[in-house]
Amino acid sequence: MTQNTLPGWPFISYREQQLHVEDCDLGSLALEHGTPLFVYSKASMLAALAAYQRGFAGRDAQICYAMKANSSLAVLQVFARAGCGFDIVSGGELARALAAGAQPRKIIFSGVGKTRAEMRDALIAGIGCFNVESEAEIDVLNAVALSMGKVAPISVRVNPNVDPKTHPYISTGLKGNKFGIAHERTLATYQHAAALPGLKVLGIDCHIGSQITEEVPYLDALDRVLDLVASIENAGIPIAHIDLGGGLGINYNGDTPPAADALWCKLLERLDARGYGQRKLMVEPGRSLVGNAGVCVTEVLYLKYGEQKNFCIIDAAMNDLPRPAMYQAFHTITPLDERRRPSADAPVFDVVGPICESGDWIGHDRALSVQQGDLLAVLSAGAYCMSMASNYNSRGRAAELLVDGATAHLIRRRDTLADQMQAERLCADN
């Protein structure tokens, strides 16, 4: 059998010239389930998780999957069964995590705008920690916990003012961002929180951004967090855990982020050197666990040649794959049939969806040797695609499959038209 693994996507390969995810032929899956179709590799997710687990071997550490990256129930189930906790940001994510089998005490609740109702639900569930982001939130959480006769475990998210060198929309640890508590306010905030009877201070956390491809911002953030831990503990408030957030990048277009185990080797060296190596560690990875596990299979509907541009119009759109429109993000696009990989003289196209907006593009200036009716795979589509998908233009959300070896499980059926309208009502005549 001829096999060409795609460099950067170890669980995706051309076998007998047809693109496969693990042992499943994507063309056959598209024929059976239609397009656009998301297909995820379970082995890829577990391999990505294993890199973190290797990095933490012998340490007291908790990996909390940041489920905003991909919150499909069966994906959550894979991580719950593998022992992960979850980083949630809403009551909806709490309900999903619990439905997928999460252990409540391994759930941490991040986000700048938790409502009282969400706090109550999380306290009832018995989650492990609230990552609080403002002094006002601290007071509200204290009041909610007291009203329920409970004590809320907290960690304060600090803003280390470190530049993660990523897209401005996904950098979160700079002074101008809405996230976390400023470095200078941190000690006072901890002193305030520690004095409140409805709260128990457990840890400290930060998250500096997403799609980070360098080690230095992490090491800088760690140093700043450890400086804060020292000053908070000097004030008599013990910090049991240190949570460094998520943010590790993946390969989209030849990107070479450090492997999770290599990154953690460096971070643990720094922790050890500064005497904090025995603390409980937490991380909140999202993209790096699921991003390269997923592809979106889509059909070429039309090729349209123009004077200035050629367009390859596909049946997936910005409602399925919002990252190019939102962040000018690059996703590799490759044909399912290896013989249709672009030849040297292949024409260049903008790959666009059917949505009525010029912003509805999936790839700019791509050399393609495809024909109408061909199938393409948009790679690195496991993170922040389905979880950000919408019904814009009244398009149904795509179906999702989870591949495990030679078996493909349908984990979400395609939206029906009834699904789209079921929550709505016409007005009665009056």
284 belongs to the binding site for ligand LLP (CB under 6 A)? yes
Contact in structure between 230 and 194 (CB atoms under 8 Å): no
Q: Does 69 help bind ligand LLP (rule: CB under 6 A)?
A: yes
Q: In angstroms, what is the minimal distance from the CB of 222 to ligand LLP?
A: 15
Query: Tokens 């002074």 belong to which residue?
Result: 175
What whole-number distance in Å separates Cα of residue 110 and Cα of residue 270?
25
Q: Which amino acid is at 77?
A: Q
Taking CB under 6 A as the binding criterion, the range among 115-123, 190-198, 234-242, 285-293 that sits at the site for ligand LLP is 285-293
Q: Residue 86 carries which side chain, given as an amino acid letter?
A: F
By beta-carbon proximity to ligand LLP, the closer residue of 210 and 298 is 210
Is residue 287 part of the contact set for ligand LLP (CB under 6 A)?
A: yes
Distance CA 204, CA 242 (A): 5
Least separation in angstroms between CB 17 and ligand LLP: 31
- 159 in contact with ligand LLP (CB under 6 A): no
Residue 187 vs 326, nearer CB to ligand LLP: 326
* Residue 406 tokens, joined: 């030679």
With CB under 6 A as the contact rule, the residue among 164, 217, 285, 382 that binds ligand LLP is: 285
**Does 265 qualify as catalytic in the annotation?**
no
199 contributes a contact to ligand LLP by CB under 6 A: no
- Among the listed residues 211, 213, 298, 380, the single contact to ligand LLP using CB under 6 A: 211
Q: Which of 51, 66, 129, 402 binds ligand LLP (CB under 6 A)?
A: 66
Subset of 313-332 contacting ligand LLP (CB under 6 A)? 323, 327
Assess 142 for contact with ligand LLP (CB under 6 A): no
Q: How far is the CB of 69 from ligand LLP (least distance, A)?
A: 5
Q: Which stretch binds ligand LLP (CB under 6 A): 39-47, 254-262, 279-287, 293-301?
A: 279-287
Q: How many residues bind ligand LLP (CB under 6 A)?
A: 21
Q: Looking at 45-53, 281-289, 371-379, 393-401, which segment touches ligand LLP (CB under 6 A)?
A: 281-289
- 247 lines the binding site for ligand LLP (CB under 6 A): yes
For residue 240, CA distances in Å to 60, 189, 243, 255, 279 come to: 11, 17, 10, 35, 6
Q: Rule CB under 6 A: is residue 263 a binding residue for ligand LLP?
A: no
Minimum separation from the CB atom of position 110 to ligand LLP (A): 4
In whole angstroms, the minimum distance from the beta carbon of 188 to ligand LLP comes to 22
Using the rule CB under 6 A, is 106 a contact of ligand LLP? no
Contact 9, 47 (CB under 8 A): no
User: Which residues are within 8 A (CB) of 208 and not within 5 positions of it... i.e. 6 or more apart?
Assistant: 160, 162, 164, 171, 172, 173, 217, 218, 221, 245, 247
Instruction: Please say which residue, 66 or 362, places its beta carbon nearer to ligand LLP.
Output: 66
The alpha carbon of 332 is separated from its chain's Cα centroid by a whole number of angstroms, namely: 18
Least distance in Å: CB of 399 to ligand LLP?
A: 21
CB of 170 to ligand LLP, least distance (A): 5
x/- track of binding to ligand LLP for residues 339-368 (CB under 6 A): ------------------------------
Q: What is the Cα–Cα distance from 342 to 334, expressed in whole angstroms?
A: 9
Alpha-carbon distance values, 152 to 226, 233, 419 (Å): 24, 20, 38
Binding segment toward ligand LLP, per CB under 6 A, in 22-30, 182-190, 282-290, 393-401: 282-290
Catalytic residue among 64, 84, 296, 356: 356
- Residue 384 in contact with ligand LLP, rule: CB under 6 A: yes
Among 26, 61, 87, 320, binds ligand LLP (CB under 6 A): 87
- Chosen residue from 41, 142, 210, 319 binding ligand LLP by CB under 6 A: 210
Cis before 36 (ω within 30)? yes
What residues make contact with ligand LLP under the rule CB under 6 A? 66, 69, 87, 110, 170, 172, 207, 210-211, 245-248, 284-288, 323, 327, 384
Residues carrying an active site annotation: 356
